[in-house]
Structure 1
Amino acid sequence: MAEEPVQESSTSNAAPLGHLVIPMANRLQDIFAQIGSQSTLELPQVAVVGSQSSGKSSVLEALVGRDFLPRGSDICTRRPLVLQLLQTKRKADGAEEEYGEFLHLPGKRFSDFSDIRREIQAETNREAGGNKGVSDKQIRLKIFSPNVLDITLVDLPGITKVPVGDQPSDIEARIRTMIMSYIKLPSCLILAVTPANSDLANSDALQIAGNADPDGYRTIGVITKLDIMDRGTDARNFLLGKVIPLRLGYVGVVNRSQEDIANNRTIRDALVAEENFFRSRPVYNDLADRCGVPQLAKKLNQILVQHIMSVLPGLRSRLSAALVSVAKEHASFGEITESKAGQGALLLNILSKYSEAFSSMIEGKNEEMSTSELSGGARIHYIFQSIFVKSLEDVDPCEGLTDDDIRTAIQNATGPKSALFVPEVPFEVLVRRQIARLLDPSLQCARFIYEELIKMSHHCMVNEMQRFPVLRRRMDEVIGNFLREGLQPSETMIGHIIEMEVC
């Protein structure tokens, strides 16, 4: 795939469009996250993927310009971090106000970025444990700063091969599945981070990005650690896309080393050193648009804006359909009633509608009647006319009676004398025994009717009752007890009827 540079005509519009389009997408993400929505709306964002210790955290910190991510030689990113960078205006006196906010701590500002790091670590430990466990539950962080461009990034756990600590034996498969759940979405841009001191053909990031984006329309390559390549080698062919081409191209960056981090070297100093590195290397002089964190930030912002604009029509139509559905559901809830009289009237109205709905199901006047199975009154009619009648017809009136039984009963009824006519007593004795066999089918019919009435009470939903789940559960409980209390007298009455016929 040949590299297709982003059109120059849209570059000048990227920043102003970014201030409109990206914040709107961010706001939608916040709304869905706050309400815990499992919405199918796919909101545009950039997912950062790469193997463990590939430099993902360093790239993110360089984009922000501050140290705020957990660092170390072991796995550090153990939960997806949704990072929203929001550009703010500088104050009139030129002062810069930079702070972060977590979604799980609404209203609390973190001006000290060391506190942000500690909170990320603490929140990670709360969900994933303190022994290198991994969780797919998001941490959402907003960073407000005049030194950033409007971008939404998702920092995903690095791909690892060997489980350590509390990690399960299939940790690699789990992390790959977690990453794929983000990058497989057509609305997600993929930032594939690969260290320059490793073979690009064996890059885990490019491999998993290729699985999710085989045409390469959503993948941006980032080559890190250019300054620690073997002497006599360079990444020029990598950056030009001659090794593994990407339509959106590659950007090379120079990370801070672990020694720089230990010595508290600031990111600003690191950016200056990065610029000097590329200027002092003739092999990179003509690749200014492909090298450096500032170029990466601009390219990301520009591509993200264009990507959002391309997916916005479909997103708008899906959002409009969702709004219509939610508005219809909201309208069905009715108005809020605070007065005691109003609440009583509302409750009476709900109970009346419930009774009417139950009666409609019995009489077959329900507007939402099923076309796949019998229900309500039709089901009760079927129980009486088909199941019960068939069970009665299956009772053979002469079963268990032989001619010898009848002859013996007649002889016992005549006593010591011979009778000219057949006496009634043996007939009554024999019939009484056969009538008693009707009791079990009759009781079974009553239980079938009871079960159908219980089923009807569960399916008889009144729209207004969706507002009151406690009321719904209480009504199910009361109606269930009422029907259950009626079943026992019904069974007793059936027994009495059989006994009357026996007598």
Structure 2
Amino acid sequence: MEKLSTHRRKKKSAMGPTGTDSLPVSGDDGGPSSVHHVAAPKTIGSSSLDALQSTDSRRVMDIVDKLRRSGLSGILQLPQLVVSGDQSSGKSSVLEAITEIPFPRKENLCTRFATEIILRRATTTSINTKIIPDKQRPSTEKKRLEQFKSTIVDFAELPNLMEEATNLMGLGDDGSGIARAFSRDVLSIEIAGPGRPHLTLVDLPGLIHSENKMQSKEDVALIQGLVDDYIREKRTIIMAVVSAKNDYANQIILKKCRDIDPKGNRTVGIITKPDFLEPGSENEASWIELAENKDIFFELGWHMLKNRSDKEASKSFTERNATEAAFFGSGRYRDLPPEMLGIESLRGRLSQMLYKHLKAELPSLQKELNEKHDEVVKELEKLGEKRATARDQRRFLTKISQDYQDVAKAATNGQYEHDFFGNLDPEASVDHESNIRRVRAVVQYLNLQFASAMRQYGHKRITNASGELSPALEDDKKAVEPALDEDYAQFSTYQVAERRADAIERVRRILVRSRGRELPGTFNPLLISQLFWEQSHHWKAIAEFHIEKVAQVCANFVAAAITCTVADDVAHRLQAFTVDPALDARLKRAKAELIRIIADNKHHPITYDPKYTAMVQDTRRKKSESKLKRIVDQAKISVYNGLSKVTEPYLKPDVLDSGKGDLLELDMDKTSAEDALDSQQAYYKEEVKYFISAVTKQVVERHLMRDLAADTISPTLIGDMTDDEIAFVAAEPEETTRLRGNLETRKAMLEKGQETFKSALGLCK
């Protein structure tokens, strides 16, 4: 079974998988039931650890160590070594051999939570232990675990510390017989001393193949998730430990490494317990082939170690290393390169791996640090200054109102240089939410949509003869209208098609029923009004739809502008207190303006545009020319020259005389009806242009777009607010105070990290 964690490799008080009282040790190698200090020195220091790092490597590690001690490990993914493997693979013994730190060990125990071992060079020796609680723990439990901090100067005290930490995590036996088997909490052990390198290793619980009476299905899932979380971090070097006692094809860690790091760029394989292989056997040959990187390829390669057996548990590290060297100096292992055998060469390899890895990662780490700093600064800027007094609160609101004004004015004026506007999304529609910040462009687009919808669908009746539009509307066919969005195109269902002859008959019936004192052959002037009112019946619905759409666009823009310039808590209160009422009032004024424009259309038609009379006269002329053309065509003479039919260039006088009567319509009511219809169509064509202009200028521009910034949030509005109103909007809630404190702490840590990079500039180039 494996030991607690890399740092608690041989702990002394965690509960074993059976739930019995036991030391929180890592028991990869088993061992006697009592605690062993493995001939450990009483003071902390190990000169052989210097092999882990060269001078340049130490310089690089100094940077990472300073970043870690600044508290940035919770904000950035810092480079680290993670040791992982299946249960009982010997990984904790690997860590013990690398660090030469005698962790407590006890029989039949496994690593039950992640343990950070932080080695740090210092003038004095010390061991500092703390618990980093799982983020999902309740706040009360987090506080309780965070209070666990202890410092010792002798390794002999380490087992008791580990036992206490294990019990605090809820993994010890409390006498009830019920205890958790594993935890997502992290035990952090910082070991400082004169000979220590700057190095961080993480020991993870061993991967479990299947549930059993000591380890539940939930335990299996917890450990799988925990290991995945660590080894997925792209700045982590994975030390994948596999035991030669078991077929490596069945060891879970190798599959995980190949899935997460398929090219093996940041994985080094560690083979343990080769002394259990039968010398000269095929099984031994297959493991040697694996070590030679011929089967499962890792770019960082493989390494073989012989850890202490149970019988060797009391031997010193010097004796352990000598036994290992003797083992690899015999049999097939003599043919393997010495740099891939034994703990001494592993330290050298790790030194080079770490140096290259960290040197490659530092530029991206610095970039990420700067990006995180920029994000925190922006979040703090959104919160604004601290605001305890009424004066501070008023100044705070005045400042954010000025920032909002800059953004809102630029947007309504169509000036998009501000960072607020970001990048365009050409693939999305103009009025899509991704483009809504460019509100002037959106409103211009919607106005064009409205104008096109009015020209195409504003008239209730579509009058045609033999498939052609009536003369007064013929020019409409020449205009190329923009494609209408579906929500505007819906108004096509409002229209009714009719033939011109049916339209004339309909108007004649209306004429008869609305006759006044006018002479025969003329029509009541009010007839034009009635026809126009009916034809323009849907104007109000189309205009209201357009106004509502533009108002919503403005509201969405204002919300985006506020979100960009104001902290969330203040944004919500400003939205409710000033912005929403202002937007509602602007929409009401816009609708009232539309009602006035519609009311003007209900009065008797008035126009002074000469185009109207020209259009009426042109319509009459075209009708006369059409009738005359038919008569002329009838009067043309066609003769035969013996071979073909030839039309002579002169007309029959008698045919022309007989056709003159067709030029005059004897039915005066029909004539009047036709004149009224043509006059109404000519008037409609001019009036729809005025209506489009009135709605876009007098309604949309005057009431929805103009002064949008000033009406929603402005220094003037802030100045008119009472102190109570200011306090309601700007007073900082408790959660904001906590958020500000958290952001300021993070900002300080990130700035300390930036200073670390600045001070080390040039060392790692």
TM-score by length of 2: 0.49
Counterpart residue identity of residue 472, structure 1: A
By how many angstroms is 1:425 displaced?
4.2
Instruction: Indicate the residue corresponding to 2:81 in structure 1.
Output: 46
> Equivalences for 1:167-186 in 2 at 5 Å?
167=218, 178=229, 181-182=232-233, 185=234
Q: Determine if contact 1:241/1:249 at 8 Å carries over to the other structure.
A: no
- List per-residue Cα deviations over 1:24-79 (Å, max 9, x = no partner): 32443465756x53x5xx63322222223323345446654223899747xx54x6
Pick one of 438, 452, 469 that aligns with 1:390. 452
Q: Does 1:114 align with 2:163?
A: yes
Q: Determine if contact 1:83/1:153 at 8 Å carries over to the other structure.
A: yes
Pick one of 494, 499, 502 that aligns with 2:599. 499
- List per-residue Cα deviations over 1:353-372 (Å, max 9, x = no partner): 31232112111223135554
Counterpart residue identity of residue 83, structure 1: E
Instruction: Indicate the residue corresponding to 2:606 in structure 1.
Output: none
> Equivalences for 1:322-333 in 2 at 5 Å?
322=368, 325=371, 330=377, 333=381
Counterpart residue identity of residue 193, structure 1: V
| Gap change, CA 1:238 and 1:491, over 3 Å in 2 | farther
Pick one of 452, 455, 473 that aligns with 2:572. 473
Pick one of 354, 361, 381 that aligns with 2:411. 361
Instruction: Indicate the residue corresponding to 1:486 in structure 2.
Output: 586
The separation in 2 between residues aligned to 1:19 and 1:70, in whole angstroms, is 37
By how many angstroms is 1:145 displaced?
5.3
Give the unaligned 5+ runs of structure 1: 1-9, 124-128, 261-267
The separation in 2 between residues aligned to 1:234 and 1:426, in whole angstroms, is 112
By how many angstroms is 1:114 displaced?
0.7
Q: Determine if contact 2:131/2:185 at 8 Å carries over to the other structure.
A: no
> Equivalences for 1:49-198 in 2 at 5 Å?
49-60=84-95, 63=99, 64-67=101-104, 72=109, 77=112, 81=114, 83-87=116-120, 97-104=126-133, 105-106=145-146, 108-110=148-150, 112-120=161-169, 139=186, 141-144=188-191, 146=193, 150-162=198-210, 165-167=216-218, 178=229, 181-182=232-233, 185=234, 187-198=235-246
- List per-residue Cα deviations over 1:137-193 (Å, max 9, x = no partner): 6736233255976432233454444356344998998688556514xx3x4333221
The separation in 1 between residues aligned to 2:518 and 2:261, in whole angstroms, is 104
Pick one of 303, 318, 329 that aligns with 1:250. 303
Q: Determine if contact 2:207/2:224 at 8 Å carries over to the other structure.
A: no
Pick one of 541, 548, 565 that aligns with 1:440. 541
Q: Does 1:407 align with 2:508?
A: yes
| Gap change, CA 1:157 and 1:454, over 3 Å in 2 | farther
| Gap change, CA 1:380 and 1:221, over 3 Å in 2 | closer
SS at match of 1:491: helix
SS at match of 2:543: helix
SS at match of 2:163: helix
| Gap change, CA 1:170 and 1:220, over 3 Å in 2 | closer
| Gap change, CA 1:69 and 1:222, over 3 Å in 2 | farther
Q: Does 1:453 align with 2:554?
A: yes
By how many angstroms is 1:440 displaced?
0.8
| Gap change, CA 1:271 and 1:456, over 3 Å in 2 | farther
Counterpart residue identity of residue 292, structure 2: P
> Equivalences for 1:224-235 in 2 at 5 Å?
224-225=272-273, 229=276
> Equivalences for 1:295-314 in 2 at 5 Å?
296=343, 302-314=348-360
The separation in 1 between residues aligned to 2:324 and 2:189, in whole angstroms, is 36
Counterpart residue identity of residue 310, structure 1: K
Instruction: Indicate the residue corresponding to 2:39 in structure 1.
Output: none
Pick one of 256, 270, 278 that aligns with 1:222. 270
- List per-residue Cα deviations over 1:384-405 (Å, max 9, x = no partner): 2x11111211222535574443
By how many angstroms is 1:412 displaced?
2.0
SS at match of 1:436: coil
Matched positions, count: 456
Q: Determine if contact 2:241/2:271 at 8 Å carries over to the other structure.
A: yes
Counterpart residue identity of residue 85, structure 2: G
Range with greater deviation from structure 2 (12-21 or 341-350)? 12-21
Range with greater deviation from structure 2 (101-110 or 345-354)? 101-110
Range with greater deviation from structure 2 (370-379 or 434-443)? 370-379
Q: Determine if contact 2:57/2:351 at 8 Å carries over to the other structure.
A: yes
Instruction: Indicate the residue corresponding to 2:63 in structure 1.
Output: 24
TM-score by length of 1: 0.70
| Gap change, CA 1:388 and 1:245, over 3 Å in 2 | same
Q: Determine if contact 1:29/1:43 at 8 Å carries over to the other structure.
A: yes
By how many angstroms is 1:313 displaced?
4.1
The separation in 1 between residues aligned to 2:359 and 2:325, in whole angstroms, is 45
> Equivalences for 1:264-283 in 2 at 5 Å?
269-272=313-316, 275=319, 279=323, 283=327
By how many angstroms is 1:380 displaced?
1.8
- List per-residue Cα deviations over 1:425-470 (Å, max 9, x = no partner): 444334333333111111011112112212321343697x36x332
> Cα RMSD (Å) of the superposition?
5.0
- List per-residue Cα deviations over 1:308-356 (Å, max 9, x = no partner): 4324444343344445556666499499566754553343132123123
Instruction: Indicate the residue corresponding to 2:28 in structure 1.
Output: none
The separation in 1 between residues aligned to 2:587 and 2:324, in whole angstroms, is 92
